[in-house]
Structure 1
Amino acid sequence: MPPAPVLLRTERLTLRRFTANDAELAGLHHVRTFFEEWPDHIEGAEHGDVEYAVTHGAWAAARR
């Protein structure tokens, strides 16, 4: 049985120069864009938060 997908997660990471292209080059895929209320304002929050993920299989294949 293959291993279950692994979700790498971080909260409230602000990287101004990190783009969707960078995520794809790192092997991540866009899961969703969502809007949530946070106690502290971060510039650009009106554009939403994004979630990216990579499965263990995709990660392992990229390391070969």
Structure 2
Amino acid sequence: MNTWVCCPPFVWLPAVMVMAALFGHVVVARRLRAERRVARRLRAERRVARRLRAERRGNVAPGRA
């Protein structure tokens, strides 16, 4: 008969493995979003620092883009 799918190795697939894969995807997505947020913040800080250095050297009028 087809009762072999009710035995432990086969019931683990939907019950455990799918949930583990879903959890892994969520963890990776959260990590990538956090890294992107940090990278965006660093780019903004570098842009401000570059702007301040240019203003100190007199290359750019203060407050102008």
TM surpasses 0.5: no
Which protein is richer in strand relative to its size? 1
Scaled by the length of structure 1, what TM-score is found?
Answer: 0.18
Which protein is richer in helix relative to its size? 2
Larger radius of gyration: 2
